[in-house]
Each structure stands twice: as C-alpha cells, then as structure tokens.
Structure 1
Amino acid sequence: MAESAAVEYRIDRRSGVATYLQIVQQTKQALRLGLLGPGDRLPTAREVVEATAINPNTVLKAYRELEREGLVEARRGLGTFVTRTLGGAAAADDAPLRAELADWTRRARAAGLEKDDVSALFTAVLDRTFEGDQAG
C-alpha cells in the first residue's frame, strides 16, 4: 500500500473560504510546488478529520472536486491518488525564486509585519501583476 503524501491541511475557520475549498487549494498548491506528484496517496478522510477536526463529508467533497478536475483518482479500498501535477516549472527550477521569496519574507518579518500582513501584501502585488491575464 502506498504511503500518504506529505501534505498537512491547515484549516483557517476565520478566512471566509469554505473548508472544502481550503483543502482543494492546499492540494493544488502542493501539486504546484512538487510536494505531491502522480502516484502519491492523499491522506485518508479519517487522517484529515483527526488532524483538523472537520466533518468527514467535507474532506470527501474536496476530494470529489479534485477528482472532477482530473487531479486525483479514488481507488476503492485503497485511497485517493494523485493522477497529475500542476505548474510549468519543476520544483528544482524554482529554487532561486524560492530563496529570494524566503529572503523577502524574512525581511518583512524583521520589519515587524505579521503573517497576515505579509500574505495581504504579497496577494495585492500578485493580483496587480497578473491583473490583465484573467479573462473576465
């Protein structure tokens, strides 16, 4: 039996984002970062429930959404497995960018910004950078 992939879901009940969508988003992020790859098994619903204290149906809803998007496949009695990855660059290719971002994050923290402040700042810059790329 395959080992569960190293993905730990963190649920932010104050975010205003539906819990199942947080699981979907965190799974996609792990796929983009190369933390999950084809053949990896997602944690079981029971494992996620034990780690996050959310309803098992919420986990199953998230996994169904990921399956609908063609990212995972449920195998009866075995678990839910990643079928494809996301992102263009391989994880090794983004190492210089990751190092720069880590350095920037440390400087922001040293300047007194809290995690939510850094996230808001980064998201604002990210949104502005990709503004014209989204078809509305």
Structure 2
Amino acid sequence: MVEYLIDRHSGLSPYLQIVEQTKRALRLGVLRPGDQLPTAREVVEATAINPNTVLKAYRELEREGLVDSRRGVGTFVRRSLAKPQTVADSALHAELADWVRRAREAGLDREDVDALVTTAVDAAFSASASPSGLAEEPTGWHGRTGTTE
C-alpha cells in the first residue's frame, strides 16, 4: 500500500502531491491493478489534510482512468503505468540507486542530486536532443559557472 507524504513547503498543492505520488507508485510497480488505495479517512489521519483534498485527488486519478472508485468499498487501481525497466527491482533502478548512493558519499545533498538529475533528464528529452539522446549545450549557458546571457 502507498503512504502519502505531504510537504507543506513544496509549493505543490496537497491534492497534486497525492496525484503525483500515486502516479509514481504506479510507474514503479508499487501499485498494481486491483490494489486498493488508502481510504480518504486513512490519508486524512496520516497527513492531517482536508478529506475533500483527498477526494479531489482520487477524482482526478479516476478521470485519468487510473483508478475506479466504488462507493462504500474504496478506490482501486484500474491500470498500471509500470514498464519492466521502471519497477523497483529492475537493473535501471539498481543502477540509479547506486549512482545516488555514490553522489551522497561524494557529499551532495538532495537538492544537488535533484539539480543534476533534472538537468540530465531535461537535456535527454529536450526538443534539441541529438540522435544520440544527448542535447546540445543550452543557449546562453557559459560553462560551469551557471551564468547566462
């Protein structure tokens, strides 16, 4: 079962945090079709957020076709977003976990790691990505200093 963690300082609304955490669990194979999501009451007790916030998130997930709500029974996963390469026991997951461990050992904190990963993901998926999958240097970027034009 998924446990929602609400970061009140993230700038992302609690309802969107629930939606995103559910989608992440679906991508990683933590949640599978037929699994039941925590009840709104359970989420409220664990996170101290308004029940309507939980219900709004669950309605959004239902609208996207990811879950089905059954009145009086609960909310159940309808379909998965997992790919074999993204599940928690995949080789790619293990490699990434090893890289994160090495980054922490090198003294990087969560924000440093997040910045590196976000930059790499943005470069790999940018519209200007070369056929090799590596993007060209962003316009206005001046080496390692991070200054822009």
TM exceeding 0.5: yes
Residue in 2 aligned with 1:105? 100
Alignment of 1:44-63 (within 5 A): 44-63=39-58
Q: Deviations over 1:33-82 (max 9, x none)?
A: 10001110000011111111111111000000000000000001100000
Aligned to 2:127, what secondary structure does the other structure show?
A: helix
Aligned residues: 128
Stretch moving more, 104-113 or 120-129: 120-129
Equivalent-residue separation in structure 2 for 1:127 and 1:13 (angstroms): 26
Q: Label 1:131 to 1:96 Cα distance change in 2 as closer, same or farther (>3 A).
A: same
1:95 Cα offset (Å)? 1.4
| Structure with the higher helix share, 1 or 2 | 1
8 Å Cα contact 1:34/1:90 also seen in 2: no
Q: Work out the percentage of aligned pairs sharing the same amino acid.
A: 68
* Alignment root-mean-square deviation, CA: 1.8
Residue in 2 aligned with 1:36? 31
1:94 Cα offset (Å)? 6.2
Question: Does 1:79 pair with 2:74?
Answer: yes
Q: Deviations over 1:75-102 (max 9, x none)?
A: 0110000000113336569611111101
Q: TM-score, normalized by length of structure 2?
A: 0.79
1:116 Cα offset (Å)? 2.5
Stretch moving more, 84-93 or 111-120: 84-93
8 Å Cα contact 2:43/2:54 also seen in 1: yes
List alignment gaps of at least 5 residues for structure 1. Answer: 1-5
List alignment gaps of at least 5 residues for structure 2. Answer: 129-149
8 Å Cα contact 1:30/1:36 also seen in 2: yes
Q: Deviations over 1:93-130 (max 9, x none)?
A: 96111111011001111111112221222122112211
Q: Label 1:52 to 1:92 Cα distance change in 2 as closer, same or farther (>3 A).
A: closer
Question: Does 1:11 pair with 2:6?
Answer: yes
After TM superposition, which residue ranges in structure 1, 4 or more long, deviate above 4 angstroms? Answer: 90-94
Q: Label 1:90 to 1:101 Cα distance change in 2 as closer, same or farther (>3 A).
A: closer
2:77 aligned partner, one-letter code: V
Q: TM-score, normalized by length of structure 1?
A: 0.87
